[in-house]
Amino acid sequence: MSATDLPPRPAALRFVRGEGQYVADVRLPHMLHAFILRSPEAHAKLEAIDTDEAASMTGVRLLVTGTEIAAATAPQPIVWDLPGQRRAETRSLAHDRVRYVGEPVALIVADSERIARRAAARIRVRYGKLPAVTSAEAAEAPDSPRLYEDWPDNVVARANWLVGDVDAAFEHAAFVTDGVYISRRMAGLPLEARAVLAAPDAARNGLTVWTSTQAPHQVRAAVASCLRMPEHRVRVIAPDVGGAFGTKSCVYGEETLMAYAARKLRRPVRWIEDRHESFTSSVPGRDETVTLSLAFDAQGILLAMRGRVLLNKGAEPYAASIGSAWTGGMMLPGGYRVPALAIEALGVVTNTTPTGAFRGYGQPEVNFAVESAFDEAARRMQIDPAELRRRNLVRESEMPFQSTTGLVLDSGRYHALLDLALAKFGWDAARERTARERSGGTRSGVGLAFYVEATNMGPSPLCGMVGVRSGGFDVCQVRVEPSGQVSVFTGQTPMGQGVEAALAQLCAEELTLPIEDVVVIHGDTASCAYTGYSSGGSRGAGVGGSALIGAARKVKHKLLLLAAHLLDANAADLLLVQGGVQHRDDPTRRRSITDLAQAAYLAASLPAGMEAGLDERMAFDPPALGISYGVALCEVALCPDLIVRVRRILFAHDCGRQIRPDIVEGQIIGGIAQGLGTALYEQLLYEPDGTPRTTSLRDYDIPFAADMPPIELVHLETPSPFFPHGAKGVGESGVIPIPAAIANAVRDAQSSGDASLRLDTVPLIAGLLGGA
Amino acid sequence: MRVTLVLNGDARTLDVDTTERLCDTLRERLDLTATHVGCSEGVCGACTILLDDTPARACLALTVQCDGARVETLEGLTPADALSPAQQAFVQHGAVQCGFCTPGFLAVIEGLRRQGDAASWDEATLRRELSTVACRCTGYDGIVRAARAVLQPTP
Amino acid sequence: MEPVYHAPGTLDEVLALLAIGRGEARILAGGQTLVPLLFRVEDEPHTLIDLRRIVPLRAIDATATQVALGAMVTLQAAELALRTSLPQVAAALRCVGTAPIRARATVGGTAALADPWAELVTCLHALDAELVLVAEGRERRVRAIDFFHGIRRTARQPDELLRQVVLPLPVPGERHAYHEFTVRESGGKARALAFARRRDGRTTLTLAGERLMPLRVDGTISAAQAALRHEDPSARALLLRVAGQALAMLDEETDPCA
């Protein structure tokens, strides 16, 4: 099915009419408005807060400081708790100490946001400055300022992988590469910043919280736990979410704060994050340093790898813990055979905004390191960088293949896809042409990067093993209504990616109904199935879709039994075809799903023992991850003033079966855009004293339409054996190999030029301009 | 302050605060929530509306400045029972993911359409003119295709 | 408190309001810089004086030797007006923000409020433009180099209105070249700006940067190097590269990136 033949996404039909409903669009009677006063200090004692003048202003309804919150609420929950991980009693407002610029210090609730802002300007806080540390490297030093006095150092947690005799391999290697590859801090920057609206819910003696989140059930658990309320008295609704990219996958203190204020005031309280504050109040991503050495034999076969992934966790150990470093460690071998390895992953706290998840989650960082190192090795061996990959990639015949860190590569045709991509790109010709251009003085070059993406996040045992405190399963409920049309209840959260359309498609296929007959209900803990992990880790269509298929098949089974009863036939002789069940030999013996649904709900004539209604659910726990993979190739030119002009990108990938090719394409190209921003210019900078330098969209460059090169996509579909539909995730693929591919192309373009340029940091602008 | 706006074709007289931004009047006072606020400093373009036929940032205009002006939001550009050609093109070409930037792009494209000189633009010019609104989801390919379908229709 | 809003119809009324405003009055031109400050309560003026009804402030007056741009001339209108007479200034103005911003941002607002390294400000320095300030009963002309003091700090007195900027037109044989560095091809905030000018055989170079007030030096790289010696090394390297581009463009007007 080609992308343009697909029925339109129902959400797109609403969005183009301006009928999306984001949290800021929700209106409640008697709604109040919150503003959060944030710390201007990176590290300081909170010595005194004088709120008298602000509290007495007309229109101010509530003023809360950290002392009250510390007494009245429990600490924010730990979502990922690695073995040995350190703790901090982090709450939604700072008390006695602030640890980053932007940390919430006071909550003001007023009749309007403007009044709340004015009141905030009249709160006087006395800070006792403490020495600050902003970089992970500095925070590791023994004499570094400490963020938590009860910790022996600034390390949150660490994990190690040790396999084989690494030292011996390096001793006998013909070629060794050593490098330090830095991915700077960047913002996920969904165009809709965060927003929370909390309202008392008298009917459940509790609360309803609207929040722009990827994880409604996790927010429910957090709010209930922080406010010490029973979980079932909290309802969380994620209405339309204006982009997320991981930024909205963790729970935030503002959700607790608004819930607290709404309960206390018995009125709805709304907080809309301003873009300006989002640069320090929403979790950024990356900020990792990967130290990597590779050992090759004379034939270019990889013998061993030594790696260290160091994450700047920012000021608090929570959000996603050191998950991105851990994931990076696990993903370091990627799609390659690595006989021996020694890997350490760790995260340290610093006086910066806590980092969390951002699309790619550790994988672009290690991909940048490994693929840069492969190019370095290929240059030294004087072989085609593509050939060096070919010699080391896992072969199709070896699948499923357990990689050296334990990751199971489920399926794939790595060599076939690589060769297809090289041919489509015209790799050899482009290498020759750019080499000619370089001898003519134009600095152009080509580069490639192979990647794998861990998708369909799950296996609950895996989550348990690594300390993720939520199950990796997903629940879906398929309810055929008395009309014969279908409501699907999913725990997955659309955030623009269109997972609801993929689920509708799968349901329509299973039940042989037109897609218009399926509505997908999501983002409401009161009606939707429970999911622990929710939407993240590229699992929506893969895991959520598998649960849907399971539930739909149960419905189908019931339809066949019911039809057999009504048609006086043997169920084994019946088929579900075009929205009805009919006899395989006699299509006139047929009952439509509508007929069967009515029979099921009237329940006057059901087979013995059959329950009334037509409503099934399934909890699907994936047996393994689905590993998508691909290769990005690009061609660049360097302008005299060092703007990197990306001339074209070819992206070849395989995410198993594609349920909606239009969504796959949107995910890949959207990911490429963020990968291009990562590669070239997106970075959040700090002054040495911890003052953020990037607090405005004027200073944070994201790609616009004119910044995107022509993109060609190549698709291969190798089904995953572990999922009923064969589909793997694709949400993060686009972003993973682009930094390495562009950096490799720039290195190629620079090969005859200024060797002093540092190209081992992304964004490349950092090396090209020395941090300007 | 009392102001009169010609809002989506209807004259509306309103009492607004002096420092009230046009986006806040539209969204909070009039419940016209198609106009989204993404950055409050004119960079992202999600709040772009048409002010006297010209795309303008509703987050950078005080409502009092717009007294007497014609203001058009996506609500006003949307036919009652159908989609406009631009809206259809957005759906068809995969120009919509989270939908947050969509109203801004539709306003910019409508402004370009009225201005009328886009028919001969090459790809680079079209992309440059569309680089007034940020999209974080799509990578822009679908948006550029949709804009081309609207501004450079092939007979 | 919400500020008191005035939209006077004459310049005299504006000057009278400024005179009684005692520095608590803020002038509203296009609003593209001021509105975010008002929104964030970073600025809470007592009085807001909107210039939108003062038609004469939208005038563009050209003579044989100069162009005078009224304070309420938009950057878009200025860009159009200067395309033939000062094409490199027009090119600089095309780099400002995006079309919806240029359609509302004004010459006066940009000069009085915007960051000192804005494109317009750099051009005013480079061309030795004059800014005309008026108050009740007095008027003065200030050279650009004396007008801009720092971020949102200018020579304007609280009771004065920036009425006009006056740009000298090139003399025969005069050449200009403008170049700026943005990290994105599509534009965005300029990290380094350079305006080269050759007039009567003498070349000058005006440089501005992310944290550098416009600085005018003799038109050589060595002069620029000397003038920038206190800058951060990476910022200096970038400024010198941009300066080199502008100087090169003085002689050959080709796109260096083509």
Does the pLDDT at position C112 exceed 70? yes
Tens-place pLDDT, residues A202-215:
998 999 999 999 99
Tens-place pLDDT, residues B17-76:
999 999 999 999 999 999 999 999 999 999 999 999 999 999 999 999 999 999 999 999
pLDDT value at position A235? 98
Flag if A242 and B98 touch (Cβ within 8 Å): yes
Flag if B73 and A674 touch (Cβ within 8 Å): no
Q: Where are the domains of chain C?
A: 4-168, 175-251
Mean pLDDT of C43-53: 94
Report, at the CATH architecture level, how domain A285-458+623-769 is classified.
Answer: 2-Layer Sandwich (3.30)
Does the pLDDT at position A754 exceed 80? no
β partners of residue A627: A454
C10 CB neighbour count, 10 Å cutoff: 12
pLDDT value at position A640? 72
pLDDT value at position C253? 54
Q: Cβ of A277 under 8 Å from any chain C Cβ?
A: no
Flag if C50 and B61 touch (Cβ within 8 Å): no
Mean pLDDT of A228-245: 97
pLDDT band at A102 (very low <50, low <70, confident <90, very high): very high
Q: At A107, list the tokens.
A: 């909550």
Rounded to a whole number of angstroms, the distance from the CA of B61 to the nearest CA of chain C is 6
pLDDT band at A404 (very low <50, low <70, confident <90, very high): very high
Q: Cβ of B108 under 8 Å from any chain C Cβ?
A: yes
DSSP for chain C? -PPEEE--SSHHHHHHHHHHHTT-EEEESS-TTHHHHHHTTS---SEEEE-TT-GGGG-EEE-SSEEEEETT-BHHHHHHHHTTTSHHHHHHHHTSS-HHHHTT-BHHHHHHHS-TTSHHHHHHHHTT-EEEEEETTEEEEEEHHHHEEETTEES--TT-EEEEEEEEPPPTT-EEEEEEE-SBTTB-S-SEEEEEEEETTEEEEEEEETTEEEEEEESSHHHHHHHTTTS-HHHHHHHHHHHHHHHHHHH--S-TT-
Where are the strands (E) in A244-374, listed by range? 269-272, 285-296, 302-314, 340-349
C-alpha neighbours within 13 Å on the C-beta side of residue A676: 37
Does the pLDDT at position A681 exceed 60? yes
A398 CB neighbour count, 10 Å cutoff: 12
Counting residues of chain A whose pLDDT is more than 90, the rounded percentage is 91
Which amino acid does the sequence have at A81? D
Residue of B55, B65, B67 lying closest to C31 (CB–CB): B65
Outline where A627-759 has alpha helix (H). Answer: 661-680, 738-749
Does the pLDDT at position A2 exceed 60? no
Residue of C185, C191, C245 lying closest to A640 (CB–CB): C245
pLDDT band at C152 (very low <50, low <70, confident <90, very high): confident
Tens-place pLDDT, residues A544-577:
999 999 999 999 999 999 999 999 999 999 999 9
Does the pLDDT at position A511 exceed 90? yes
Q: Cβ of A13 under 8 Å from any chain C Cβ?
A: no
Tell me the whole-structure pTM to 2 decimals. Answer: 0.97
Rounded to a whole number of angstroms, the distance from the CA of B140 to the nearest CA of chain A is 6
Residue of B18, B21, B131 lying closest to C98 (CB–CB): B131
Q: Cβ of C3 under 8 Å from any chain B Cβ?
A: yes
A203 CB neighbour count, 10 Å cutoff: 8
Q: What are phi and psi of A6, to 5 degrees?
A: -70, 145
- CATH 3.10.20.30 occupies which residues in chain B? 2-75
| Burial A411-422, CB ≥16 within 10 A → b, else e | bbbbeebbbbbb
pLDDT value at position A750? 87
Rounded to a whole number of angstroms, the distance from the CA of B52 to the nearest CA of chain C is 11
**Distances A282 to A247, A273, A478, A576 between C-alpha atoms, Å:** 7, 9, 35, 49
Flag if B41 and A189 touch (Cβ within 8 Å): no
Looking at every residue in chain A, the average pLDDT score rounds to 95
Cα–Cα dist A374/A372, whole Å: 5
> Which of C39, C95, C185, C207 to mutate to test binding with chain A, by most A CBs within 10 Å of its CB?
C185
- Which positions in chain A touch C97 (Cβ < 8 Å)? none
pLDDT value at position A772? 37
Residue of C41, C183, C234 lying closest to A121 (CB–CB): C41
Rounded to a whole number of angstroms, the distance from the CA of A190 to the nearest CA of chain B is 6
Does the pLDDT at position C255 exceed 50? no
Mean pLDDT of A447-464: 94
The CATH code for residues A473-620 is 3.30.365.10
Q: Cβ of A350 under 8 Å from any chain B Cβ?
A: no
Angle between helices A414-425 and A427-439 (to 10 degrees): 50
Report, at the CATH architecture level, how domain A11-130+194-272 is classified.
Answer: Alpha-Beta Complex (3.90)
pLDDT value at position A722? 95
The single-letter DSSP state of residue A635 is E
Flag if C256 and A770 touch (Cβ within 8 Å): no
Residues contacting C115, CB < 8 A, separation 6+: C121, C151
Asked if domains A285-458+623-769 and A473-620 share a fold, the reply is yes
- Decide if A627 contacts A452 (C-beta within 8 A): yes
C-alpha neighbours within 13 Å on the C-beta side of residue C148: 30
Mean pLDDT of A217-239: 97
Burial class (CB in 10 A: 0-12, 13-18, 19+), B22: buried
Q: Where are the domains of chain A?
A: 11-130+194-272, 285-458+623-769, 473-620
Does the pLDDT at position A752 exceed 80? no
Q: Which residue in chain A has the smallest CA separation from B139?
A: A670
Does the pLDDT at position B120 exceed 50? yes
Cα–Cα dist A699/A681, whole Å: 10
Tens-place pLDDT, residues A146-172:
999 999 999 999 999 999 999 999 999
- Which positions in chain C touch B45 (Cβ < 8 Å)? 98, 100
- Which positions in chain C touch A121 (Cβ < 8 Å)? 41
Flag if B128 and C186 touch (Cβ within 8 Å): yes
Does the pLDDT at position A769 exceed 90? no
Q: Cβ of A684 under 8 Å from any chain C Cβ?
A: no
Q: Cβ of C136 under 8 Å from any chain A Cβ?
A: no
> Nearest to residue A707, comparing CAs of A742, A664, A758?
A742
Provide the number of CB pairs (under 8 Å) joining chain A to chain C: 66
Which amino acid does the sequence have at C19? A
Rounded to a whole number of angstroms, the distance from the CA of B138 to the nearest CA of chain A is 4
A176 CB neighbour count, 10 Å cutoff: 18
Residue of C7, C40, C103 lying closest to B56 (CB–CB): C103
Q: At C1, list the tokens.
A: 């408190």
Does the pLDDT at position C217 exceed 80? yes
CATH topology of domain C4-168: 3.30.465
- Which positions in chain C touch A644 (Cβ < 8 Å)? none
pLDDT band at A639 (very low <50, low <70, confident <90, very high): confident
Provide the number of CB pairs (under 8 Å) joining chain B to chain C: 73
pLDDT band at C256 (very low <50, low <70, confident <90, very high): very low
Was domain C175-251 assigned CATH 3.50.50.60? Answer: no
The CATH code for residues B2-75 is 3.10.20.30
Q: Which residue in chain A has the smallest CA separation from C211?
A: A772
Taking the mean position of all CA atoms in its chain, how far away is CA A161? 24
Q: What are phi and psi of C131, to 5 degrees?
A: -115, 130
Flag if A13 and B37 touch (Cβ within 8 Å): no
> Nearest to residue A628, comparing CAs of A649, A652, A656?
A656
C:28-87 residues touching chain A, CB 8 A cutoff: 40-41, 44
Which amino acid does the sequence have at C214? P
- Which positions in chain C touch A642 (Cβ < 8 Å)? 241
pLDDT value at position A771? 42
pLDDT value at position A755? 58
Rounded to a whole number of angstroms, the distance from the CA of B80 to the nearest CA of chain C is 28
Flag if B34 and A17 touch (Cβ within 8 Å): yes
Residue of A18, A242, A706 lying closest to B34 (CB–CB): A18
Residue of C2, C50, C100 lying closest to B19 (CB–CB): C2
ipTM score above 0.95: yes
Assigned CATH class of B85-151 = mainly alpha
Residue of A641, A704, A769 lying closest to C234 (CB–CB): A769
Flag if B141 and A669 touch (Cβ within 8 Å): yes
